[in-house]
Structure 1
């Protein structure tokens, strides 16, 4: 790696995400923000083990700014440690543990660092950085509400003997809205499995951070923000300083494929705010039965739509987590017979992947049926788009409930009792509600208010800009005295 002499004069910070686009994208956006707006030299440490095609493409793009250097960590052999049955978080954590074995020598080669910024699943770095006297910050990529829950979880684990899902009442997170047991993330629904143990291990280390960055801003989550910064419970942990620096979302997406260009050209021909964008995240997949109901519901709604279709699987809702941008199948093979012909002109079906930012930004887009991953949530809100909340895994059920009941920008379809699926009539109902009902207009206005608020927070002098600026000023002050 060749570093320009001018960059050696700047404070040097390393950034380390765990694998998966939901982690890589926000940490890369933070890295770009540090380089472009705060004059920091950044080394971005890339875990290459089981990296998806989309991750490789993103991190080796020629458009990355000067002063941001991607360093590929050597791939680790985890073939004897995981198999097809290994759940996604356990697989991710084993991947990180093995991939970070050379981290100490990599950090030493980088020279003097002002800080290392990690995400939640790279906490092995705390001990290594402690030995090297490098301050370590956590960039907590989900919501502020989920940070509050995560900081409370070790206490809950000590005080509760039964399974959390069997509690007779919602989980009362200090200072926050109670979390319904049915909304609890998958990783804590069974306390005996490895996923729960891994998750608890990592969240229990959050207090070791020199500070916690959050991809949110105060106007979006005022109650949770007040809790983690002022409630006695969090002060007594003690919780490190919390810095809300969001919403940091992917900015510079460009149409890269013929499919992208076709998608945008189709949108150009549609009326303003008339199209529902249906996309369930980089790792999300539906069962065959649920995909059939979704297709019929979209057709019955008679609304214009773009459907990002992915081959269904009954195995796991996160089946494509490690294969984003990989296998692309013909939607004709798994969508209802005749669906593509019947909806021609009304809908556009895109296999596997779509340029999400460009679609959400387009004036013809009027709604977003989303899995409620935090990145997609922020992208939707910052473009003023109301949502149909369709959570699949991880903390997405908690996000969906918050978006419906607290933020007021989403509607959540009901799951048919006994069937375990959202039926086509319910899909038709919520799609019509968002796209043409008065409730949809109320949600759209609220999303529009938050869009304005987000821009203000990120601009010079705004709350998120200043929050990050205070930390970078500390780094620069320390750099001067080296």
Structure 2
């Protein structure tokens, strides 16, 4: 196709403070520059700016055509302390719209198009005001896009929702936006989702072979919804480094047998309660399997921890998560387990030959990374859309075993943890999942090839931008 020139300038607007969304935006920017010669500007709405800046600094310094602009910070101190995190993100966006419009008008090269996050869709109004097309980059699953489009007609009392591919979500697995009875929260989310229909197109970080039924249903609904472009899987590229911990983990993995290690991580902010933290550790020990476990200090409010959504610093210093391990745990498991605090180079761990399974919170980035490397999964969803993803993984994709046995206190006990881990790593069900994930791995590689469906979808949307 015709190559773009640097005069074609795409502006990307990720959400404030949500690092799991910023990563695919950065990867999209890299593709637009390397494959299509675009100039790309990432406009950043500040919130906990240091992690944002760290990710942006990881962009190859030779990539001179990716720029970042930080908008002035906005205050949200007047909002209620108990405001739902799903509302907090678009609130920051709305308050940043005047600064966004000024930034768009101040660019040296006028923007060809504006691409916004699913939580930043109010910025579509600004794009229309300045006369440029606006697209949404939906960085999570196509199934969730379908649910969002249908949200205005769903009732919070619905006991289940059916999705394409014979996937049925029970009430407990629905996102809070569907089942919450709070009229104010629901009004916010319905307004957010209704704005998806205002976009000139929706880019989705997924691929046809992963969610074929969902994409077929989205296509069936055209022209009632914007054009859909499956561009994924876009995952973090380049080496992840943070002090010497990454090297230590990879060297430890080098000394383990092939496909023998379970990687245990709950994402960039996922935490467990104190009791659940202990039961997970004892379950890993009881399983007898090798593991790398990324631990964070327990916290009862899982959703607030995951989004880093607290508006005010309460002054508490984070405690060492190793202090919460069962007494004697490190000594008893030292020959077959590695516990690391806070961070691990997840991409490199999942791609390592010794990694044979992944216990995950079911965040979409983690699912796509597992797909690319063909790693079988244990689904342990925490909050937000994670439970919905877990249903898709087990009932739709059939690529995971889900942790299900929860006691009256909401705790997954050590015996069930051990059982699920052993089943994935050495059981018959685990062998079936391994084969399924290898098929997914090959499909992911094919879709990103030059003639693959995701490459063609990106070329299609680029053609619209430059013509």
Q: Is the TM value for this pair above 0.5?
A: yes
Q: Does the alignment pair 1:119 with 2:123?
A: no
Match of 2:313 in 1: none
The answer to whether the aligner puts 1:285 opposite 2:271 as a matched pair is: yes
Say if 2:429 is the partner of 1:431: no
**Contact residue 308 and residue 349 of structure 1 kept, 8 A:** yes
Q: Which residue of 2 aligns with 1:448?
A: 438
Partner deviation per Cα, 1:377-411 (whole Å, 9 max, x = no partner): 10111110000001001111111011011101100
CA apart distance, 1:185: 0.6
Q: Report whether the alignment pairs 1:50 with 2:48.
A: yes
Q: Is 1:176–1:223's contact at 8 Å kept on the other side of the alignment?
A: no
Residues 103/317 of structure 1: CA separation in 2 closer, same or farther (3 Å cut): closer
Distance 2:321 2:163 in 1: 43
Aligned to 1:3: none
Answer whether contact 1:14 1:44 (CA < 8 A) is retained: yes
Larger mean Cα displacement after TM superposition, 120-129 or 172-181: 172-181
Separation in structure 2 between the aligned mates of residue 431 and residue 109 of structure 1, nearest angstrom:
54
C-alpha distance 229-318 of structure 1, shift in aligned 2 (>3 A): same
Q: Aligned with 1:345: secondary structure?
A: coil
Cα distance between partner residues in 2 of 1:194 and 1:142: 24
Tell me which of 126, 129, 133 is aligned to 1:128.
126
Q: Is the 8 A contact 2:6 2:37 kept in 1?
A: no
Q: What is the RMSD of the two structures over their aligned residues, measured on CA atoms?
A: 2.1
Q: Is the 8 A contact 1:44 1:70 kept in 2?
A: yes
Name the structure 1 match of 2:289.
303
Distance 1:257 1:300 in 2: 31
* Aligned with residue 155 of structure 1, among 153, 158, 162: 153
Give, in whole Å, the separation in 2 of the partners of 1:412 and 1:172. Answer: 19
Which residue of the partner structure matches residue 74 of structure 2?
Answer: 76
* Structure 2 contact 85–309 (Cα < 8 Å) conserved: no
Cα displacement (A) at 1:281 = 0.8
Counterparts of 1:49 and 1:129, CA distance in 2: 22
Q: Which residue number corresponds to residue 25 of structure 2?
A: 27
Q: Give me the whole-angstrom Cα distance separating, in 1, the residues matched to 2:165 and 2:285.
A: 43
Q: Distance in 1 between matches of 2:59 and 2:219?
A: 39
How far apart, CA to CA, are the structure 2 residues paired with 1:220 and 1:9? Answer: 33
Residue from 368, 386, 399 that aligns with 1:396: 386
Question: When the two structures are superposed, what TM-score results if normalisation uses the length of structure 2?
Answer: 0.93
Which residue number corresponds to residue 235 of structure 1?
Answer: 222
Q: Do the aligned residues in 2 keep the contact of 1:434 with 1:441 (CA within 8 Å)?
A: yes
Question: Is it true that 1:259 corresponds to 2:245 in the alignment?
Answer: yes
Offset, 1:420:
0.9
For the structure 1 residues 37 and 371, does the alpha-carbon distance in structure 2 shift closer, same or farther, using more than 3 Å as the test? same
**Residue 457 of structure 1, aligned match among 447, 456, 459:** 447
Higher mean C-alpha displacement, 327-336 vs 363-372: 327-336
Name the structure 1 match of 2:87.
90
Change (3 A) 1:327 1:207: farther
Q: Aligned partners of 1:122, 1:113: CA distance in 2, in Å?
A: 17
The alpha carbon displacement at 1:417 in A equals 4.0
Displacement, 1:327?
A: 6.9
- Contact 2:401 2:420 (8 Å CA) reproduced: yes
Q: Provide TM-score, normalisation by structure 1.
A: 0.90
